[in-house]
Amino acid sequence: MKQQGWLSVKGMVVASMLLTTLACSTAGTSSTDKPEGSAVKKEEKPLELTMAALAAQEPPAEGNEIEKRMEAFTNTNLSIQWIPLAAYADKINLMIASGELPKVVNANFSPTIQSAMKSGMFWEVGPHLSKFKNLSTFNKAYFDHTEIDGKVYGIPSSRPITRQSLIYRSDWLKNAGLKEPKNLEELYQVLKAYTQNDPDKNGANDTVGLSMEGLGKLNNIVVMHGGPNKFAIESGKLIPDFETKEYMDVLKFMKRLYDEKLMNQDFAVATRAQTQSAFTTGKSGMVLAVSGNAYNLYAVLVKPVPQAEVDFFTAFEGPKGKKVVGEINTETLTLIPKSSVKTEEELLRILAFFDKLAEPEMATLLARGVNGKHYKVEDGKALTTDGALFLKDVSDLRNQFLKTWIFHNTMPPKQHALLDKSDRSDKDDEKYGVFDASKTLTSATYMERGKELEQIITDAATQFIMGKIDEAGFKKEIEKWRKTGGDKMLTEYMADYNKKNKK
């Protein structure tokens, strides 16, 4: 594999996170062809495949064993440009604007990408997915959340629908004599103890309760507190979460944490790598992340802090009952640009490449790693032997290349109790999932100005938490949002909703 500069800095894009979930019904595509297997036809000449990919951490070393096995199995020469997560937003917009595209782009279902889809920049893949036995296993809900005008342009990544959580140091909780929090006030008391009561018993004032990067996961807490997940339809109207009491409750809670220094003071500019590093070096007691990451963080943490214990929770037990963020993965859509892939024949070869990676040998490689290095086989199951090494060698490759469910065609895991708990909660929490009502709707204003509108609210929330504006100032920013295009976007969303529901 070559990791080379086939794409200029302004022509790069990133993609996503962990790729796991339901995989049952056939993809909702227009083709009636039966699945033909991994490859449309056998090719002797290797497929030359360029790709832009997300590096959530230090990218895998060039020519590593995982990539070599992928290339050999699929008869492909890979050329990957790894891009740091923090650079994603700028790079994707520049890439679209410049037209300098690789053959494969993993991208978020953002306004920029939606506009590009609508313009015809990418191949429509929906009619072809049923030709491939693995890519045809997706739950139809994934396509309902990522189609444009009824057409499917991207291959989603299958993962649990309800997996957001708060991961915490359970040994610190025991040291503080507290229990897992059931509401905002109890969460405040936990984070206060994590910061002020020397939870690691080292005699130094060197810990902080919460580490958070930006406000991208603020809605997790809003939903846990009983609020909407971004947008909700109530009484025939689309209601933004930031206009609800629950959202303001959470903003005030976050301001309290910030004022009392119970959270990282650089949250507005902190990166995921920094917040997770604070947790895995024993400096922070809690992070917001998917539940499956609890074990990964634990595996890194116990090396410098052998006595550490980690747990997670996904919901409060408030008056509205358990509520968990429900989400269909729209952060790792695999898109194939027409400017780089000229023929349908090459398009099918690329689809076959991803289908082959979901065959048992490759799916197990990407989901479990290398036998004897990252795991060993016990009782017919894969037992991880070095979680930290898996995180370093395999995690980013799995996230970028394995499109199907992590249990589809893979050796079942014999795993740590944290991973068993994660698998159970992913399944059990589905009935508590709260979904963003706007995700299946279309708005021209969102495609054109969605990022700008989102930034108005993000900036206002950040300023409120940091004490730069008060509640009246926040409401003024909402009015700015409405006048800038928010009202028009809500009207367009509701028009689409009424059309789809024939009202």
Express each pLDDT in 337-378 by its tens digit. 999 999 999 999 999 999 999 999 999 999 999 999 999 999
CA distance 217 to 227: 14
Q: Look at 498 and 1; give whichever has higher pLDDT.
A: 498
- Decide: 484 and 452 in contact? Cβ < 8 Å: yes
Both tokens assigned to 211: 């580490």
pLDDT on residue 320? 82
**Residue 337 DSSP one-character state:** B
Rounded mean pLDDT of the chain? 88
- Decide: 390 and 399 in contact? Cβ < 8 Å: no
Q: Classify residue 471 as exposed, middle or buried by CB count within 10 Å of its CB (0-12, 13-18, 19+).
A: exposed
φ, ψ for residue 75 (rounded to 5)? Answer: 55, 55
- Using one digit for the tens of pLDDT, what is the confidence trace for 435-472? 999 988 889 999 999 999 999 999 999 999 999 999 99
pLDDT on residue 97? 86
- The closest of 62, 84, 119, 77 to 13, measured between CA atoms, is 84
pTM for the predicted model, two decimal places = 0.72
- The closest of 313, 395, 353 to 17, measured between CA atoms, is 395
φ, ψ for residue 375 (rounded to 5)? Answer: -150, 165
- The closest of 283, 316, 313, 315 to 300, measured between CA atoms, is 283
Alpha helices per DSSP H over 62-150: 65-74, 88-98, 111-119, 140-144
Reported as a pLDDT band with limits 50, 70 and 90, residue 89 is: low
pLDDT on residue 57? 84
